[in-house]
Amino acid sequence: MTGPDGARPLIAVVDYGAGNLVSMEQGLTASGAEVAIARDAAGLTGADAVVVPGVGAAAPAMRRLDGRGLTGPILDWIAADRPFLGVCLGLQLLFEGSDEDDASTFGILPGRTRRLEDAPTLPHIGWNQVTRLREHPLFDGIADAADFYFVHSYAGVPGTADDAAALAMTEHGRPFVSAVARGNLLGVQFHPERSGEDGLRLLANFVSIVRAAARPRVGLAS
């Protein structure tokens, strides 16, 4: 499948040993992107966007990202407002830290990752509604409160009243932030690559955002 303007942006999917990448790779490819699996900083070279997927705990994930020399380049990438999508743990890492194991994470968004305390069951596994706080191209063509697939026990809780990045909320015991957007920085707590048609639509929307942001690399500061 080729995008409307024929260009297939190159998306680096970060592999830090956190499980299944097949569905993410396939979902992005089906959505019109070229996918490269990035296992180190060199793997980000030439990419138009970075996707950090992943499930599990924050501390081992941070250790593996550090060990592969990826933390710095990812922070630089986000600081330059280049297209980024964090999925599940990849979203949680954007906050300051995690209560799960007291890990310090990227600290790009104010707030912490906390356990979903009042939930009837944990982990929160299954399809749940994603209710939007505002409109955003990431959700183009997707009904408000559409169902997406979740699998996690912790979720980001914005630290201040000024949580301008919060894009959508979901409720399991308590409401939590299920999608964020700030410029080209995007994150979702659910798994679009496992969320059927609406999930694929969201990935295609992300590819469109990447395409729109891709500029000729002339004069790019190193």
Partner 1 sequence: MLRRRVIPCLDVADGRVVKGTRFVDLVDEGDPPELAERYAREGADELVFLDITAAPERRGTLLDIVERTARRAFIPLTVGGGVRTVTEMRDVLRAGADKVSLNTAAVAEPDLVSRCARRFGRQAVVVAIDALRGPGRDGAASGWTVVVKGGRELTGLDAVEWAAQAVELGAGELLVTSIDRDGTGAGFDTDLLRAITDRVGVPVIASGGAAGPADFVAAVRDGGADAVLAASIFHRRIHSIASVKAVMAAAGLPVRLVPEAVA
Cα–Cα nearest to 195, from 141, 146, 133: 146
Catalytic annotation present for 88: yes
Catalytic annotation present for 191: yes
- Burial status of residue 83 (CB atoms within 10 A of its CB: 0-12, 13-18, 19 or more): buried
Among positions 36, 56, 99, 213, the unique one binding partner 1 when judged by CB under 8 A: 56
Task: Assess 131 for contact with partner 1 (CB under 8 A).
Answer: no
Q: Residue by residue, what is the 3-state secondary structure of 90-159? A: HHHCCCCEECCCCCECCCCCCEEEEECCCCCCCCEEEEEEEEECCCCHHHCCCCCCEEEEEEECEEEEEC
Spatial distance between the Cα atoms of 182 and 167, rounded to a whole number of angstroms: 9
* Catalytic residue (choose from 25, 88, 124, 152): 88
Among positions 147, 164, 213, 214, the unique one binding partner 1 when judged by CB under 8 A: 147
Task: Assess 48 for contact with partner 1 (CB under 8 A).
Answer: no
Q: Which stretch binds partner 1 (CB under 8 A): 3-11, 71-79, 160-168, 193-201?
A: 193-201
Cis peptide preceding 123, ω within 30 of 0:
yes
Task: Assess 113 for contact with partner 1 (CB under 8 A).
Answer: no
Catalytic annotation present for 100: no
Task: Provide the CB-side half-sphere exposure for 194 (13 A, CA).
Answer: 19
Q: Pattern of binders to partner 1 over 152-171, x per CB under 8 A?
A: xx-----------------x
Task: Assess 107 for contact with partner 1 (CB under 8 A).
Answer: no
Minimum CB–partner distance for residue 56 and partner 1 (Å): 3
Among positions 184, 191, 208, 209, the unique one binding partner 1 when judged by CB under 8 A: 191
Which is closer to partner 1, CB of 77 or CB of 139? 139
DSSP state of 160: S
Spatial distance between the Cα atoms of 86 and 187, rounded to a whole number of angstroms: 4
Q: Which stretch binds partner 1 (CB under 8 A): 14-22, 33-41, 133-141, 155-163?
A: 14-22
Active site residues per annotation: 88, 191, 193
**Residues forming the site for partner 1 (CB under 8 A):** 19-23, 26-27, 55-57, 120-129, 147, 149, 151-153, 171-172, 191, 193-197, 199-200
